[in-house]
Amino acid sequence: MKRLILFLAIILLPLILSKVAEAKKIYLKWGATSVRSGLYANTVSMAGIVNKAYPGEIEITVIETGGFTENLVRIQKKTIHLGPADAAAGYANYEGIIDYKGKPNKDLRTLWGGYITPIHILTTKKSGADTLQKLNGLPFAMNPGTTSGRAIEMFFDANGIKPDYKMMGIGASVDAIKSGVVQGWFKAGFKDSAILDLEAAMDINIIPIDKKAIDKTNEKYPGQAKSMTIPAGLFKAIKKDQLSFAYVVTDFIHKDVPEDIVYKIVKAIYEKRKDLVSSLATLREGNFDDLYGNLEKYVHVPLHPGAVRFYQEVLKVKVPDRLIPPEMKKKQER
């Protein structure tokens, strides 16, 4: 009998231990955007880094979503645990202002500073629309629920521009441009794959903007518009450096994700930030590797406690009071 018990222990113990380890592993869903967007690859790369760093502890699955604005809703509802979104939209969502008026999402937390990226406003060459004013009445693909759609709609509204919006998804917009159903669209991302796809099939314009248009937008929608210069040759349509509408993409997470898990996520990404920016143009050009510098510069939604602990312990910085989450402030007051 003793031999039988010993034999069963030898056979079963590894199985029991593996089940215990599996039970301790945390499974997270990281929302992204449409797979036809060049920005999708950014999230896949980051999730892969975390999974590789903590194979027995954290397993992240990347989820295709309708865009960054949808990610904010999904995080609040916990259908995803974390995901990228516009820093300005995240702040409006957290505070319950502008298009989130009266509906604050106080469960939202930030991970890092993210990166600044352009939103290209494009038209077909055949349309003859090569300035912002010529967009009035133009059949124009609009992607509702996306951060870039939200930002562009505010930008156009503040500047009195009224295209003929046709509501559709990101993937459908590419096909609609090619088929002539619409003659204008917008797309976020530095060297975006969807725009490269269009340029391979047809001639397009990428319309420049000016600082006055940005200022007008921020007058009507405070803090919701940014700009950046994109270089000549980025796409065939860009013959010289020009100013582009832009926004800051950061990653948000639900406050209920355990602190030690968030600490490890931030640690894994911080340690591999140079690898990320070397392989992804959008992150490189948007200075994603300056995770903490961009955080101080652009972000106004409080950090997750796990992220605060990482920046304090590893970077030895004093995190600004606006980025300390309420739950940590309550502990400090006790």
- Mean pLDDT value across residues 198-215: 97
Half-sphere exposure of 327 (CA within 13 A, CB side): 13
Is 50 exceeded by the pLDDT of residue 20? no
Q: Which of 182, 217, 247 is a domain's end point? A: 247
333 Cβ neighbours under 8 A, 6+ residues apart: none
Q: Which of 204, 226, 247 is a domain's end point? A: 247
Distance CA 109, CA 81 (A): 11
241 and 255 co-located in one domain: no
**pTM for the whole structure:** 0.78
- Mean pLDDT value across residues 22-45: 86
The predicted structure's pLDDT at residue 21: 43
- Structural tokens at position 170: 């990101």
What is the residue whose two structure tokens read 């990320």?
A: 276
DSSP letter, residue 184: E
- Which uninterrupted H or E stretch holds 185? strand 184-188
Residue 288 backbone phi and psi in degrees, to 5: -60, -30
The predicted structure's pLDDT at residue 61: 98
36 and 123 co-located in one domain: no
Give just the sign of the alpha carbon dihedral 76, 82, 85, 90.
Answer: positive
283 and 228 co-located in one domain: no
Is 80 exceeded by the pLDDT of residue 141? yes
Domain count, the chain: 2
The predicted structure's pLDDT at residue 196: 94
Distance CA 265, CA 284 (A): 20
Under the banding of pLDDT at 50, 70 and 90, the label for residue 33 is: confident
110 and 254 co-located in one domain: yes
SS (H, E, C) 296-311: HHHCCCCECHHHHHHH
109 and 254 co-located in one domain: yes
The predicted structure's pLDDT at residue 147: 81
Is 90 exceeded by the pLDDT of residue 189? no
Distance CA 294, CA 277 (A): 14
135 and 243 co-located in one domain: yes
Residue 206's DSSP bridge partners are: 122
The predicted structure's pLDDT at residue 34: 84
Under the banding of pLDDT at 50, 70 and 90, the label for residue 285 is: confident
pLDDT tens column, 64-88: 998 888 999 999 999 999 999 999 9
The predicted structure's pLDDT at residue 1: 61
- Mean pLDDT value across residues 93-111: 95
- Mean pLDDT value across residues 24-39: 88
Range of the domain at 37: 2-116+249-333
Give the N- to C-terminal CA distance of the chain in Å, as an integer: 58
Contact 166, 198 (CB under 8 A): no
Distance CA 276, CA 273 (A): 5
143 and 241 co-located in one domain: yes
The predicted structure's pLDDT at residue 19: 44
275 and 216 co-located in one domain: no
Is 60 exceeded by the pLDDT of residue 296? yes
Q: Which of 213, 247, 281 is a domain's end point? A: 247
Contact 277, 114 (CB under 8 A): no
Instruction: Please give the biggest Cα pair distance in the chain.
Output: 89
The predicted structure's pLDDT at residue 16: 45
How far lies 187's CA from each of 8, 94, 173, 229, 243, in Å?
61, 25, 10, 16, 15
Under the banding of pLDDT at 50, 70 and 90, the label for residue 8 is: low
92 and 180 co-located in one domain: no
101 and 140 co-located in one domain: no
The full length of the chain comes to 334
Under the banding of pLDDT at 50, 70 and 90, the label for residue 3 is: low
Distance CA 135, CA 23 (A): 55
317 and 263 co-located in one domain: yes
Is 90 exceeded by the pLDDT of residue 105? yes
Distance CA 15, CA 327 (A): 39
Nearest to 123 by CA among 158, 75, 173: 173
Helix (H, G, I), strand (E, B) or coil at 81: coil
If one counts every other C-beta atom within 10 angstroms of the C-beta of residue 255, the result is: 17
Under the banding of pLDDT at 50, 70 and 90, the label for residue 282 is: confident
Residue 197 backbone phi and psi in degrees, to 5: -60, -45
CATH number at residue 25: 3.40.190.10
Distance CA 169, CA 146 (A): 9
- Mean pLDDT value across residues 179-185: 97
Is 90 exceeded by the pLDDT of residue 207? yes
- Structural tokens at position 65: 């979503």
299 and 190 co-located in one domain: no
- Structural tokens at position 219: 């007058």
31 Cβ neighbours under 8 A, 6+ residues apart: 43, 62, 63, 65, 70, 71, 74, 75, 80, 82, 83, 84
Is 80 exceeded by the pLDDT of residue 257? yes
